[in-house]
Chains A and B, each alone.
Chain A
Amino acid sequence: MARNVTTTRKATVTVVAWTIGIAIFFPILWTILTSFKTEAEAIASPPSFLIFDWTLENYATVQERSNYFRHFMNSVIISGGSTVLGLIIAIPAAWSMAFVPTKNTKNVLMWMLSTKMLPPVGVLIPIYLIFRDMGLLDTRTGLVIVLTLINLPIIIWMLYTYFREIPGEILEAARMDGATLRSEIIYVLTPMAVPGIASTLLLNIILAWNEAFWTLNLTAAKAAPLTAFIASYSSPEGLFYAKLSAASTMAIAPILIMGWFSQKQLVRGLTFGAVK
């Protein structure tokens, strides 16, 4: 970019961008602020922005009432597990569709995406019955399986579009140098595809972390992740906004922090055909 950007222009853009950024972030900011208010303060009108009695009582209550750490670990295991499993299955599949395409590849891809069209509400009972018979209810294994399967189409698809960008000649060159298929994938493809894999990995972790239908319906006490933790604070009787804010802050903080540190990766990988 050889253009000379004037300072005025940069300043204007800065102001506009920051205003919009804060406006978009505002609901989250409000939630975090509310978590430090008392319940009475949380519903007061006119609402107070920064001047109020800051208190940690909500966090104390939440910590006392439910086991944040166990829910957190469950979320980590379930999101991480389903992502890793998904990648293991998806990378070979995406490779084969990107580099050895047949006339059916497009259709197979569309079919895979269509499996995501199954409305979970309609298949809850069949899945519940199957899981009950297989002893998978309220297990992290069961959840990992379900989350892998529902996100697999997305993972495959994103990897596929990313792999399509990688020039096949490099892989061919490696093969002609005598590399086996396995080493071709592991030693040549993967390093080149790291940004794409990284961003797919991050996207999948976020999707699995926030998935609130299967995680709520297939777990009881042992495998309940943070989504259940939050659900337990949504009460129809009695004030709860401040506590819910505290619980939500505790639930989104890890992923917000992770997002902060990995946003460069996220951005780098999602090029979708624009890298030439």
Chain B
Amino acid sequence: MATQHSRSAAKLMISPAVLLLLGWMIIPLSLTLYFSFLRYNLLMPGTEEWTGFTNYRYFLTDPAFFAALWNTLLLVGGVLLITIVGGTLLALLLDQPFWGQGIVRVLVIAPFFVMPTVSALVWKNMFMNPVSGLFAYAAKAVGLQPFDFLAQAPLMSIILIVSWQWLPFATLILLTALQSLDSEQLEASEMDGANYPNRFVFIVLPHLARAITVVILIQTIFLLSIFAEILVTTNGGPGTASTNLTFLVYAQSLLQFDVGGGSAGGVVAIILANIVAIFLMRMIGKNLDA
């Protein structure tokens, strides 16, 4: 099928994308790499000097570094868990026939359309506020002490908010995968006596494998650099309980306009993210093949 003609045509067609992405990657990356070896503070221009690995040393020995690393993994893992399990359940539910399917689908998809800053603010002030939030109101109504979400369980609260934002995405992809499941296979196994859990595990789940892989890959990419939600709700605190790697880079660099330090942090973050990506591809990449 792949003739000589189409091979060279293919190379030609893929080249704009490759060239652009190459440029997008290399130019800022090399500048960032360059800056990371400088002592460069925006507020004191003209005093740049080569400092070798000093910025890296400071970033990696920051007491918050390991906490941020751990938080990042928890954040990504937590959201993935909730959205995939929740998304599967929701997809199963929405796949059943019922009245008003279209409307409920839109209701479920809606959170994905809201800007992250807005959803974070809404959750923080209208729901999680221990004095005037809805959760507090509900707790008081049944006689319980309101729970201070953002102070006592900051990372969990952020995981909750982000899961709410990404659940629609996971549900959508899993639902469409589900809807193309051949029902005859299911019916045949049912007539053979397989009960629901067995049918689910041995027929439905493998079919969903590819869709789940897609969800994991795309979401991981976005979840590794969650930033707006943390900035708006907890500012990384209390302490460093809700600081992830991206926020650490922000606090180190933008807040102090320390371009050198921030660049070093950025490079470290890229390396770590790529490690995660390679891991992921090793584990589930085979699901992508037809």
A contacts, CB < 8 Å to B: 1-3, 5, 10-11, 13-14, 16-18, 20-22, 24-25, 27-28, 30-31, 34, 43-47, 89-90, 92-93, 95-97, 99-101, 106, 108, 110, 112-127, 129-130, 149, 152-154, 156, 161, 164, 168, 172, 181, 206, 209-210, 212-213, 227, 230-231, 234, 241, 244-245, 248, 251-252, 255-256, 259-260, 263, 266-276
Contacts and interface: CB of A to CB of B under 8 A. Distances in A.
Given A47-B132, A212-B115, A125 B21 contact: no
A105 to B, nearest CB: 9
Contacts of B173: 270, 272
B6 to A, nearest CB: 5
A92 B14 contact: yes
Of A10, A119, A154, A234, most buried by chain B (CB within 10 Å of CB) is: A119
B210 to A, nearest CB: 5
A210 B114 CA distance: 7
A252 B112 CA distance: 10
Contact of A96 (B13, B96, B183, B288): B13
Contacts of B28: 118, 123, 126-127, 130
B62 to A, nearest CB: 15
A121 B273 CA distance: 14
Contact of A126 (B9, B35, B132): B35
Interface in B118-150: 118-119, 121-123, 125-127, 131-132, 134, 136-137
Given A93-B13, A181-B6, A266-B172, A5 B97 contact: yes
- A-B pairs, top 4 by smallest CB distance, nearest first, are A122-B266, A92-B13, A96-B10, A100-B10
A27 B290 contact: no
Contacts of A255: 113
A33 B29 CA distance: 45
A36 B96 CA distance: 36
Contact of A272 (B126, B177, B266, B269): B177
B187 A3 contact: yes
Contacts of B196: none
A210 B180 CA distance: 30
B114 A252 contact: yes
A124 B257 CA distance: 11
A210 B132 CA distance: 28
B206 to A, nearest CB: 11
A241 B133 CA distance: 13
Main secondary structure of the interface of A (DSSP, over half): helix
B270 interface: yes
B108 A21 contact: yes
Given A14-B98, A45-B132, 6 more contacts: A31-B122, A89-B17, A93-B16, A119-B266, A130-B31, A168-B1
Contacts of B35: 125-126
A10 B270 contact: no
B176 A272 contact: yes
A121 B121 contact: no
Interface string B205-233: 00100110010011001001101100010
A22 B106 CA distance: 10
A129 B35 CA distance: 12
Interface string B13-36: 110111011001101110110010
B117 interface: yes
B113 A206 contact: yes
Interface stretch (B46-54, B74-82, B151-159, B247-255): B247-255
Contact of B172 (A101, A118, A270): A270
Nearest to B225: A119
A244 B270 contact: no
B24 A115 contact: yes
B221 A13 contact: no
Contacts of A269: 176
Contact of B11 (A96, A260, A276): A96
Contacts of A110: 277, 281
A267 to B, nearest CB: 5
Given A20-B90, A27-B123, A241-B126, A263 B106 contact: yes
Contact of A259 (B97, B113, B180): B113
B162 interface: no
24 contacts: A17-B101, A21-B103, A21-B107, A25-B107, A27-B123, A27-B126, A31-B118, A89-B17, A93-B18, A96-B10, A99-B2, A100-B2, A106-B285, A108-B14, A122-B32, A122-B265, A126-B32, A127-B28, A130-B31, A161-B214, A252-B118, A268-B176, A271-B177, A273-B290
